[in-house]
Chain A
């Protein structure tokens, strides 16, 4: 009988080997050399002095905002609101290619679909494989960093990309000057510290942690991982007050600092795609697509810093949103309107047509709404 049991040894070993590999490989990836300690000012100076102009990488975005997550129904598509909601829940990957200040490409990876934003000099293309549509816009002058409404491109909105460019016109300011100025500004509202060394995309990074001084904001900490070698910010984590896991995390899963292939930035819309041209004016001012409405949205800000509340009135197509079937499911009825609640942000739709947005509690939003 003893020999019979021996036949099961390979099975036991196989399970053991697979389990140990699965456990140890991520741990090995985490371990790295210890970095010299730096003050917050030195880390900010590292970012400001970053000279990275070309890289390609995959950015992973994870959201855990406390919103309901619905099962994706396989390869089929879903309604507009559900797909917008899907951007705020779960995990998304974006492949990012950057070559110099004017050539960028972001690919939002969906299952069996993809959304692309390609910028080559002054020409910007937005391509959606599911709808098979391509939008083209031309930027005028030396346009600043590409930023389009309605597109999630976490890799593009990171401070590291804009900072080196902003420094160029002001040659007199050294990275440490900028760091000191920025730190002084930040410290009026937040406590800035350097946390434990982290590993992002396999690279050792400093963790710059901002803790808001305001007590009534929903944001607990903002931590920015700064690559120790290049000064490029590799990730941003937003953690809600009282939580330990980040509510929103955007970080590189992999990064490569070599120059991406030039062919990536050349885009010709495929035959059969619906191509629309956007007027240059819109692209230039970066205004919202809804500029044709006569009454312009009016925004007022009450408070400063982390607990500021933005109040917007006269929003066109708001009633369309409010009458959609998902609106009732996603918001809760509160005195004075409807509340859309996430762990980082509250949005109050008041009955008189205003929208109040802030990283503050619902009570404060209601107080601001009724004060007007």
Chain B
């Protein structure tokens, strides 16, 4: 990305003139920091509680449908998309789980992790120790962002995997019917599921950057988490108002439900590309804002 240059140029051109030890030590410090960040993230009970709650969504839906299966559906096509299909094919539980999770549960958990990144360390009093280590504020910010992005991926994959497993356990599996009416084999359907998971992970990157920025503004992690979640809800509400259709292409939640384009035949890649560009723009703007705020911030705790 050409436009990501403004963020990296100041550090790259600012640092490499130092001695060689410095150059070699710093990437190592970055990797160590990233490793420790991710291991801390996934050793927290809160992270696991959120992942378990996310996994429960498709499991509960599948159980509910399985237990009420004897009732013939009377309302023909109401309820979320894919709900009718899952009794024929368990693999649809994953798609249904993601459809249900993307408007609220996924932004909620991502908001918690992204909002906690800097503010959490500040409120725990550990931020200044992290900055005493030869890491630098930009590197800490990058590591924290990658941590939030890794959580987004883990959360999405958790929903997809839990859905696919419970679907395979409770319902027959077989060739998958695409939205276009064509069918694909089980193997290709798993590939499409992974594509959908990557689409949704990318969709959450903009929100993660917003959460990171909010997290640099305050020392109260709950405030940053709540602000991030509120922003995601506001964006979706605006996205549902037809009167504001000029604004819709600029909302980070605009493509959240467009992952269905990956379930067409042939696959429509337009929304995938547009979504990636949009999330990239949010990442650049809010990443740079977070850097501006964090690098000028007085770290007192």
Which residues of A come within 8 Å of B, CB atoms?
A: 4, 7-11, 13-15, 17-18, 21-22, 58, 69-77, 89-91, 95, 107, 109, 111-114, 116, 125, 127, 129-132, 134, 254, 261, 264, 267-273
In the complex, the answer to whether B241 meets A131 with C-beta atoms within 8 Å is: no
In the complex, the answer to whether A130 meets B240 with C-beta atoms within 8 Å is: no
In the complex, the answer to whether B6 meets A111 with C-beta atoms within 8 Å is: no
Q: Which of B3, B268, B289 contacts A11 (CB 8 A)?
A: B289
In the complex, the answer to whether B179 meets A15 with C-beta atoms within 8 Å is: no
Which 7 A-B pairs give the minimum distances between C-beta atoms?
A: A14-B288, A69-B242, A270-B177, A13-B6, A127-B181, A112-B81, A8-B292
In the complex, the answer to whether B264 meets A10 with C-beta atoms within 8 Å is: no
Q: Which of A4, A70, A107 contacts B296 (CB 8 A)?
A: A4
Query: Would you call B103 an interface residue if the criterion is a C-beta within 8 Å of the partner chain's C-beta atoms?
Result: yes
How far is the CB of A110 from the nearest CB of chain B, in Å?
A: 8
- Write out the residue numbers on chain A whose beta carbons fall within 8 Å of the beta carbon of B103: 74
Which of B99, B257, B292, B295 has most chain A Cβ within 10 Å? B292
Instruction: With CB as the reference atom, state the residue of chain B lying closest to A118.
Output: B181
A347 to B284 Cα, complex, angstroms: 51
In the complex, the answer to whether B264 meets A15 with C-beta atoms within 8 Å is: no
B interface, size bucket? 35 or more
A95 to B265 Cα, complex, angstroms: 11
Instruction: Evaluate whether A76 and B3 lie within 8 angstroms (CB atoms) in the complex, with A10-B10, A14-B284, A270-B181 already known.
Output: no
Count CB-based A-B contacts (< 8 Å). Answer: 128
- Write out the residue numbers on chain A whose beta carbons fall within 8 Å of the beta carbon of B296: 4, 7-8
Q: Which of B7, B179, B241, B257 contacts A14 (CB 8 A)?
A: B7
- Write out the residue numbers on chain B whose beta carbons fall within 8 Å of the beta carbon of A270: 177, 181-183
- Write out the residue numbers on chain B whose beta carbons fall within 8 Å of the beta carbon of A113: 81, 179, 260
- Write out the residue numbers on chain B whose beta carbons fall within 8 Å of the beta carbon of A129: 179-181
- Write out the residue numbers on chain A whose beta carbons fall within 8 Å of the beta carbon of B3: 14, 17-18, 21
- Write out the residue numbers on chain B whose beta carbons fall within 8 Å of the beta carbon of A11: 285, 288-289, 291-292
A71 to B85 Cα, complex, angstroms: 26
Query: Would you call B266 an interface residue if the criterion is a C-beta within 8 Å of the partner chain's C-beta atoms?
Result: yes
- Write out the residue numbers on chain B whose beta carbons fall within 8 Å of the beta carbon of A134: 181
Query: Would you call B76 an interface residue if the criterion is a C-beta within 8 Å of the partner chain's C-beta atoms?
Result: yes
Query: Would you call B270 an interface residue if the criterion is a C-beta within 8 Å of the partner chain's C-beta atoms?
Result: yes
4 further interface pairs, Cβ-Cβ under 8 Å (given A17-B6, A107-B264): A7-B291, A10-B292, A76-B79, A90-B245
How far is the CB of B85 from the nearest CB of chain A, in Å?
A: 8
- Write out the residue numbers on chain A whose beta carbons fall within 8 Å of the beta carbon of B288: 10-11, 13-15
Q: Which of A72, A131, A267 contacts B182 (CB 8 A)?
A: A267
Query: Would you call B120 an interface residue if the criterion is a C-beta within 8 Å of the partner chain's C-beta atoms?
Result: no
In the complex, the answer to whether A111 meets B242 with C-beta atoms within 8 Å is: no
Within 149-175 of B, Cβ neighbours of A (below 8 Å) are at 175
Which residues of B come within 8 Å of A, CB atoms?
A: 3, 6-7, 10, 76-82, 84-85, 88, 99, 103, 175, 177, 179-183, 240-243, 245, 257-258, 260-261, 264-266, 268, 270, 281, 284-285, 287-289, 291-292, 295-296
- Write out the residue numbers on chain B whose beta carbons fall within 8 Å of the beta carbon of A95: 268
Q: Which of A4, A70, A90, A273 contacts B181 (CB 8 A)?
A: A273
In the complex, the answer to whether A22 meets B180 with C-beta atoms within 8 Å is: no
In the complex, the answer to whether B88 meets A272 with C-beta atoms within 8 Å is: yes
A89 to B241 Cα, complex, angstroms: 13
Question: Can you name 18 A-B pairs with beta carbons within 8 Å?
Answer: A7-B291, A9-B292, A10-B7, A10-B288, A14-B285, A18-B285, A69-B243, A71-B240, A74-B103, A75-B99, A90-B245, A95-B268, A125-B181, A127-B181, A254-B270, A267-B181, A271-B183, A272-B177
How far is the CB of A61 from the nearest CB of chain B, in Å?
A: 14
A273 to B178 Cα, complex, angstroms: 12
In the complex, the answer to whether B99 meets A18 with C-beta atoms within 8 Å is: no
In the complex, the answer to whether B180 meets A130 with C-beta atoms within 8 Å is: no
Instruction: With CB as the reference atom, state the residue of chain B lying closest to A97.
Output: B266
- Write out the residue numbers on chain A whose beta carbons fall within 8 Å of the beta carbon of B79: 76-77
Which of B182, B258, B291 has most chain A Cβ within 10 Å? B182
How far is the CB of B162 from the nearest CB of chain A, in Å?
A: 19
In the complex, the answer to whether B7 meets A77 with C-beta atoms within 8 Å is: no
How far is the CB of B51 from the nearest CB of chain A, in Å?
A: 23
A91 to B245 Cα, complex, angstroms: 9
- Write out the residue numbers on chain A whose beta carbons fall within 8 Å of the beta carbon of B258: 111
In the complex, the answer to whether B177 meets A71 with C-beta atoms within 8 Å is: no
In the complex, the answer to whether B291 meets A109 with C-beta atoms within 8 Å is: no
In the complex, the answer to whether B241 meets A71 with C-beta atoms within 8 Å is: yes
In the complex, the answer to whether B81 meets A75 with C-beta atoms within 8 Å is: yes
